[in-house]
Amino acid sequence: MIGVFFPEILRNCKRGPQVILPKDIGIILAYSGVGKNSLVVDAGTGSGWLAIALANVAKKVVSYEWREEFAELAEKNAKKAGVLDWLEIKRKNVLEGIDERGADLVTLDLADSDKAVPHAFSALRKGGMVFGYLPHIEQSRRFFEACQQAGFEEAQMVESIMRSYLVRPAGVRPENTGLTHTGYIVFAKKGKP
Amino acid sequence: MIGVFFPEILRNCKRGPQVILPKDIGIILAYSGVGKNSLVVDAGTGSGWLAIALANVAKKVVSYEWREEFAELAEKNAKKAGVLDWLEIKRKNVLEGIDERGADLVTLDLADSDKAVPHAFSALRKGGMVFGYLPHIEQSRRFFEACQQAGFEEAQMVESIMRSYLVRPAGVRPENTGLTHTGYIVFAKKGKP
Amino acid sequence: MIGVFFPEILRNCKRGPQVILPKDIGIILAYSGVGKNSLVVDAGTGSGWLAIALANVAKKVVSYEWREEFAELAEKNAKKAGVLDWLEIKRKNVLEGIDERGADLVTLDLADSDKAVPHAFSALRKGGMVFGYLPHIEQSRRFFEACQQAGFEEAQMVESIMRSYLVRPAGVRPENTGLTHTGYIVFAKKGKP
Amino acid sequence: MIGVFFPEILRNCKRGPQVILPKDIGIILAYSGVGKNSLVVDAGTGSGWLAIALANVAKKVVSYEWREEFAELAEKNAKKAGVLDWLEIKRKNVLEGIDERGADLVTLDLADSDKAVPHAFSALRKGGMVFGYLPHIEQSRRFFEACQQAGFEEAQMVESIMRSYLVRPAGVRPENTGLTHTGYIVFAKKGKP
């Protein structure tokens, strides 16, 4: 697709029906401040793109996926990307609860992400953050309100619009057609660190 | 500023006149695939925000800054952010050359960034990437063309527009006023890895 | 406000708390094809900006406003703009019904715009169009669905984002801050003409 | 194309290789305040879409086109749109000069629009406006500077980005792909009216 760029670690990965694109992964990386000391919980794994990008920078990522075929696809992708040492795919539905405690970051991308928000709250350390990736406005609203009800602070809803430019002898201009929407990102913080 | 969010690592940092905001840092993190094994060269350091965000995820960041007052400010900020172990501020003008070799990523944010592009090419490993952060269109064009002339491949120019939404009982809508531009990001790759 | 331009006809008009800006008026003018033979119904008048812009191009505009102070403000503004000959401010709540028939265009900008949609349907000729101007997503959805239920076709929801550029010796770039949202525009057509 | 809507008057018109779309026509209509008393000069005619939209609202539009095949296409389109009574296609290259004086609005959409700016200045009344429609940044800059050099005031450069939303039972969201750029619009005013 015009206007979409993939880093080396994702170039050889297979895509399932819907992956989080680098423009949105970038928001999660930069706004969360996830780094080499971070413990991250991710759900659902899907093709594993977000989990791989997180495992590329974090100390450990545990990604929840109850559908075996996706869990295997993600493991294959993580191996190709060279990040399997830092990524554990856990065969479990995240709506049944998160086992980890003291996480720095929880990322949620599933149909009922708002229902996993209380589990995210339990899993996070103080000052930790939850991020939801949501295609529709109504879901985003439900996720936002679930964050407030679960006790999170500083909830925000944002959208990243990328524009790609053509640089040619005739002049510079944005591409005429391209991607106009992927999803909204809602995030919130568990108290002061 | 409305619609701008800072991660914990940057919250206590002092800002000089112009810093790269998280929305643009996110593009660099996600599009470069920088991670825990990466060697990064950055210039100029300025207040050090980008260098700190990079040191938070990379193995080592060397950031070039010839102005002593900025070098000191960046070191203070890096200490507060807890990433000084992985960040070296080098007192040197990057236009005089880059000492490092085999870098995975070079980031450039200075008035004459296009003049540092050949040095970035020398410093990078095969498959490594250069990113320029540029406020104006004309500079972006010069940087893009400098990448092509230096031998880089897959040059692209993008812009990240963030929208912040208000979620209230009355309904969901974007904020009425806010940030409408920071800079363009031009990036390119040194051959196939 | 930076990035907002007003044509001559609106420059001397007084603004109430909320007016439809030229960027959104432009969508209504261009997408409706309103012209010198058109009969237009507008509600509520408010400060009269949209009504004045419509009276500037249409054969006749009837604008509904039950609040006397706004009706008088709009008449003053219309006189200053020189379009009073083509504009009638009707002291009536549009939710009680629209008297006109065979209208080419109905524009709605009130708190409960969706409740006026069936009246708009009755007032329009075949092929005529209704436009709603709505600040929030949820309202826009209700208006969209009210159009479908009332028998309208080709319902669409759009948003116009304007960017203002600075052109200076240092280079071209968008303004750093500015207007990021006014309202959504939902429109639909009454059958084939 | 997804996300592009055409009013009735343009639906039966044939399109040449490049037409100005309603989103940009709307900016010209609303920002110029063109109305039923206005004299408009337009060049080059091309397929005539902008000239037709202007003739739909103005007293008279004179549109310059030296290529006979386009002049004929535009006349056919204007006839279908029902606006031929108010539109004159003049077989002349606008770079050789504009014959009309006292115009309220001049619109320019040709490869060398900036070279026609001094002619536009001569043709306009005091307070009249010139609008250029320009695909590239560099052309936009040249046009902007030509306006300043010709004696125009209040020069501005803007861009209209339209987003189309899907309203479905699953929720509201922007369309995933669509139009991301058409052209920039630069406009300026000839003194105070």
Per-residue model confidence as pLDDT tens digits over C58-74: 999 999 999 999 999 99
pTM over 0.90: yes
Please answer yes or no on whether A172 and D139 come within 8 Å at the CB atom. Answer: no
Mutation test of the interface with chain A: which of B29, B50, B134, B180, choosing the one with the most A Cβ atoms within 10 A? B29
Q: Of the candidates D8, D30, D172, which has its C-beta nearest C137's C-beta?
A: D172
pLDDT tens by residue, A45-67: 999 999 999 999 999 999 999 99
> Is the model's pLDDT at C114 over the cut of 50?
yes
> Is the model's pLDDT at B4 over the cut of 80?
no
Lookup result for tokens 């040709």? D110
At A193 the pLDDT is: 58
pLDDT tens by residue, B19-76: 899 999 999 999 999 999 999 999 999 999 999 999 999 999 999 999 999 999 999 9
Q: Are D130 and D118 in contact (CB under 8 A)?
A: no
Whether B156 has its CB under 8 Å from any CB of chain A: the answer is yes
Please answer yes or no on whether A165 and B145 come within 8 Å at the CB atom. Answer: no
Chains in touch with B (3+ beta-carbon pairs under 8 Å) read A, C
Q: Of the candidates B135, B138, B180, which has its C-beta nearest C180's C-beta?
A: B180
At A3 the pLDDT is: 55
Q: Is A134 exposed, middle or buried (0-12, 13-18, 19+ CB in 10 A)?
A: buried
Distance CA(C138)–CA(A47), nearest Å, equals 32
At A1 the pLDDT is: 42
Local structure of residue C192 (DSSP, 8 states) = -
Q: Are C139 and C114 in contact (CB under 8 A)?
A: yes
- Across the range C32-42, mean pLDDT stands at 97
Band of the pLDDT at D1, cuts 50, 70, 90?
Answer: very low
Per DSSP, which regions of chain B are E strands?
39-43, 60-64, 87-90, 103-108, 124-134, 153-168, 171-174, 177-179, 184-189
Whether C7 has its CB under 8 Å from any CB of chain B: the answer is no
Band of the pLDDT at D193, cuts 50, 70, 90?
Answer: low
Q: Of the candidates D9, D30, D167, which has its C-beta nearest C33's C-beta?
A: D9
Q: Are D78 and D86 in contact (CB under 8 A)?
A: no
Distance CA(D143)–CA(D146), nearest Å, equals 5
Collapse the DSSP code of B189 into the 3-class scheme (helix H, G, I; strand E, B; otherwise coil) and give the result: strand
- Across the range A25-36, mean pLDDT stands at 97
- Three-point CA angle A56, A62, A63, nearest 5°: 95
pLDDT tens by residue, B167-179: 999 999 999 999 9
Local structure of residue C10 (DSSP, 8 states) = H
Q: Report chain B's mean pLDDT, rounded to a whole number.
A: 94
Whether D27 has its CB under 8 Å from any CB of chain C: the answer is yes
At D19 the pLDDT is: 86
Whether B179 has its CB under 8 Å from any CB of chain A: the answer is no
Q: Are A13 and A81 in contact (CB under 8 A)?
A: yes
Q: Report chain A's mean pLDDT, rounded to a whole number.
A: 94
Chain A residue at shortest CA distance from B55: A35
Q: Which residues of B touch A163 (CB under 8 A)?
A: 158-159, 161
Is the C-alpha dihedral spanning B83, B85, B91, B94 positive or negative? Answer: negative
Domains and CATH numbers, chain B: 11-189 (3.40.50.150)
Local structure of residue A33 (DSSP, 8 states) = T
- Rounded to the nearest angstrom, the minimum Cα separation between A166 and chain D is 10
Q: Is A73 exposed, middle or buried (0-12, 13-18, 19+ CB in 10 A)?
A: buried
> Is the model's pLDDT at D37 over the cut of 60?
yes
- Per cent of chain B over pLDDT 90 is 89
- Rounded to the nearest angstrom, the minimum Cα separation between D186 and chain C is 10
Identify the CA nearest to C160 among candidates C18, C65, C34, C24: C24
Chain A residue at shortest CA distance from D134: A173
Q: Which residues of C touch D141 (CB under 8 A)?
A: 167, 172
Local structure of residue B192 (DSSP, 8 states) = -
> Is the model's pLDDT at C37 over the cut of 90?
yes
> Is the model's pLDDT at B1 over the cut of 70?
no
- Rounded to the nearest angstrom, the minimum Cα separation between A53 and chain B is 7
Distance CA(B113)–CA(B50), nearest Å, equals 15
Cβ atoms < 10 Å from Cβ of B79: 13
Band of the pLDDT at D2, cuts 50, 70, 90?
Answer: very low
Q: Which residues of C touch D157 (CB under 8 A)?
A: 164-165, 167, 172
Q: Which residues of D touch A1 (CB under 8 A)?
A: 177
- Rounded to the nearest angstrom, the minimum Cα separation between B18 and chain A is 18
Q: Report chain C's mean pLDDT, rounded to a whole number.
A: 94
At C129 the pLDDT is: 98
At A48 the pLDDT is: 95
- C-alpha neighbours within 13 Å on the C-beta side of residue C27: 30
Q: Of the candidates C136, C174, C179, which has its C-beta nearest B181's C-beta?
A: C174
Distance CA(B124)–CA(B141), nearest Å, equals 22
Q: Are B38 and B193 in contact (CB under 8 A)?
A: no
Q: Of the candidates B35, B144, B160, which has its C-beta nearest A160's C-beta?
A: B160
At A45 the pLDDT is: 96
pLDDT tens by residue, C116-135: 999 999 999 999 999 999 99
- Across the range D64-83, mean pLDDT stands at 96
Distance CA(C60)–CA(C73), nearest Å, equals 19
Distance CA(D33)–CA(B135), nearest Å, equals 33
Distance CA(D24)–CA(D12), nearest Å, equals 19
Q: Of the candidates B135, B172, B178, which has its C-beta nearest C180's C-beta?
A: B178
Q: Which residues of B touch A12 (CB under 8 A)?
A: none
Q: Are C16 and C50 in contact (CB under 8 A)?
A: no
Whether B32 has its CB under 8 Å from any CB of chain C: the answer is no
Tokens of A30: 């930069």
Whether D159 has its CB under 8 Å from any CB of chain C: the answer is yes
Band of the pLDDT at D78, cuts 50, 70, 90?
Answer: very high
- Rounded to the nearest angstrom, the minimum Cα separation between D71 and chain C is 22
Chain D residue at shortest CA distance from A4: D177
Band of the pLDDT at A14, cuts 50, 70, 90?
Answer: confident
Cis peptide before B171 (omega within 30 of 0): no
> Is the model's pLDDT at D80 over the cut of 80?
yes
Band of the pLDDT at A2, cuts 50, 70, 90?
Answer: very low
Cβ atoms < 10 Å from Cβ of B178: 18
Whether B113 has its CB under 8 Å from any CB of chain C: the answer is no
Distance CA(C131)–CA(C135), nearest Å, equals 13
Band of the pLDDT at B3, cuts 50, 70, 90?
Answer: low
Q: Which residues of D touch C137 (CB under 8 A)?
A: 172
Please answer yes or no on whether A157 and B141 come within 8 Å at the CB atom. Answer: no
Identify the CA nearest to B61 among candidates B43, B76, B46, B77: B43
Distance CA(D158)–CA(C165), nearest Å, equals 6
Window 117-136 of D: residues touching C by CB (8 A cutoff) are: 127
Whether D102 has its CB under 8 Å from any CB of chain C: the answer is no
At B173 the pLDDT is: 97
Whether D167 has its CB under 8 Å from any CB of chain A: the answer is no
Q: Which residues of D touch C32 (CB under 8 A)?
A: 7
Q: Of the candidates C32, C57, C167, which has its C-beta nearest D141's C-beta?
A: C167
> Is the model's pLDDT at B2 over the cut of 50?
no
Cβ atoms < 10 Å from Cβ of D100: 17
Q: Of the candidates C138, C174, C175, which has its C-beta nearest B172's C-beta?
A: C138
Please answer yes or no on whether B163 and A158 come within 8 Å at the CB atom. Answer: yes
Band of the pLDDT at C1, cuts 50, 70, 90?
Answer: very low
Please answer yes or no on whether B175 and C181 come within 8 Å at the CB atom. Answer: yes
Mutation test of the interface with chain D: which of A1, A143, A181, choosing the one with the most D Cβ atoms within 10 A? A181
Distance CA(B102)–CA(B118), nearest Å, equals 14
Chains in touch with A (3+ beta-carbon pairs under 8 Å) read B, D
- Rounded to the nearest angstrom, the minimum Cα separation between D174 and chain C is 9
**Largest distance between two CA atoms of chain B:** 57
Please answer yes or no on whether A172 and D137 come within 8 Å at the CB atom. Answer: yes
Q: Of the candidates A139, A170, A175, which has its C-beta nearest D180's C-beta?
A: A175
Chain B residue at shortest CA distance from C183: B173
- Cα dist from C77 to C84, C89, D57, whole Å: 9, 12, 21
- Across the range D121-139, mean pLDDT stands at 97
Q: Are A40 and A60 in contact (CB under 8 A)?
A: yes
Tell me which H or E stretch contains D89: strand D87-90
Q: Are D103 and D123 in contact (CB under 8 A)?
A: yes
Integer-rounded Cα radius of gyration of chain B: 17
Whether B182 has its CB under 8 Å from any CB of chain A: the answer is no
- Across the range A158-176, mean pLDDT stands at 96
Q: Which residues of A touch B23 (CB under 8 A)?
A: 26-27, 30, 160
Distance CA(A124)–CA(A106), nearest Å, equals 7
Distance CA(B176)–CA(B165), nearest Å, equals 9
- Per cent of chain D over pLDDT 90 is 89
- Rounded to the nearest angstrom, the minimum Cα separation between C100 and chain D is 21
At C4 the pLDDT is: 73
Helix, strand, coil percent content, chain C, rounded in steps of 5: 35, 30, 35
pLDDT tens by residue, D135-187: 999 999 999 999 999 999 999 999 999 999 999 999 999 999 999 999 999 99
Distance CA(C72)–CA(C48), nearest Å, equals 10
At D17 the pLDDT is: 62
Mutation test of the interface with chain C: which of B175, B181, B182, B185, choosing the one with the most C Cβ atoms within 10 A? B181
B8-38 b/e (C-beta count within 10 Å ≥ 16 → b): bbbeebeebeebbbbbbbbbbbbbbbbbbeb
- Cα dist from A97 to A46, A92, A143, C96, whole Å: 18, 9, 17, 53
pLDDT tens by residue, B136-190: 999 999 999 999 999 999 999 999 999 999 999 999 999 999 999 999 999 999 9
- Per cent of chain B over pLDDT 70 is 97
Q: Of the candidates B26, B127, B167, which has its C-beta nearest A144's C-beta?
A: B167
